[in-house]
Amino acid sequence: MITEKLVENTIYELYKKAVITLPEDVIMSLEEALKVESDELPRLNIEAILKNIELAEEKSVPMCQDTGCPIIFVKLGNVEVEGGKLYDVLYKGIMKGVQKATSKTPLRPNIVDPLTRKNTGDNTGENIPQIDIELIDEDYIEFTILPKGFGSENNNLLKMALPSEGIEGIKEFVVESVLKAGGKPCPPIVVGVGIGGTSDLVLKTAKKALLGDIREKNPDPQLAQLEEELLKEINDTGIGPMGLGGKTTALSVKVGKISTHTAGLPIGVCIQCWAHRHATVRIK
């Protein structure tokens, strides 16, 4: 039985875990980047990042002052919920979990009214946390939290390209997006790319592309090749760790593809900083 309290505690623990402990694949990628860099300045920057990660876990404090905008991905299977009230259990549970994480972890309260700039004080607000629900034919519910910092989020870009621009047009736009971002998103970055769909869906696809193991090869051979080519081109820019030069501008590029209209080629770029924080739990 999935209860509101279970959801609340799950989201609280997930958020706390995500902001304090970086996934092992990201840490391993940073360690590999340190081996690649030969010059002193990029090495110092990556060493400082790795030390920061170590201290955050050791002291059980968030690894970055920007504890992000709460984005919750839910895979909803055939599960029984308390009282049969899905809205009460999921929505209220998630809201309370974010509020609890804000007060107890603690998290910096980041959420404001976009016009008045008044802070809500608990990281919830109108349609925040962002909750994305995917229906699945399984016997579990899965929660993934992505606390998205805005040093990176502010550098996301969308292009409604023409079909004639093709793969070369996609590559050009992604690399241009990274060049435009420069050192602002705290490289080494992870780059999510969405291709297809609609303007809103392609950016969501780019964001969801970030959620897997960044060291895993894409199962689609065409996308795997595209990821490899993009990663090389991005790292050849020389932006480097913290934008101060070096061989490692990006740790990984992850591409997601969805069907689209015959007249369009939407391209979404979602940039994530070195603190690629996310956590997932599955409940049967």
Residue 81: phi and psi, rounded to 5, are: -110, 150
Contacts of 57 (CB under 8 A, 6+ apart): 20, 21
Over 90: is that where the pLDDT of 205 sits? yes
Quote the pTM value: 0.96
- pLDDT for 47-63, tens place per residue? 999 999 999 999 999 99
Buried b / exposed e over 163-191, threshold 16 CB at 10 Å, is eeeeeebbbebbbebbeebeeebbbbbbb
Q: How far apart are CA 74 and CA 10, in angstroms?
A: 12
Query: Residue 50: its pLDDT value, please?
Result: 98
Residue 4: Cβ within 10 Å count: 21
**Contact at 8 Å (CB) between 143 and 10?**
yes
Query: Would you place residue 155 in the very low, low, confident or very high pLDDT band (cuts 50, 70, 90)?
Result: very high
- Please name which of 247, 252, 203 lies closest in space to residue 227, comparing C-alpha atoms: 252
CATH second-level architecture of 151-276?
Answer: 2-Layer Sandwich (3.30)
- What would the two tokens of residue 40 be? 């002193």
Query: What pLDDT score was predicted for residue 122?
Result: 98
Q: Would you say residue 84 has pLDDT above 90?
A: no
What would the mean pLDDT of 238-256 be, rounded to a whole number?
Answer: 98
How much of the chain, in percent, has pLDDT values that exceed 70? Answer: 100
Rounded to a whole number of angstroms, the distance between the first and last alpha carbons of the chain is: 9
Sketch the domain layout of the chain as residue ranges.
Answer: 4-16+63-148, 151-276
Confidence of residue 27 (pLDDT cuts 50, 70, 90): very high
Q: From CA 190, how far away is CA 231, in angstroms rounded?
A: 10
Q: For 11-39, what is the mean pLDDT?
A: 98
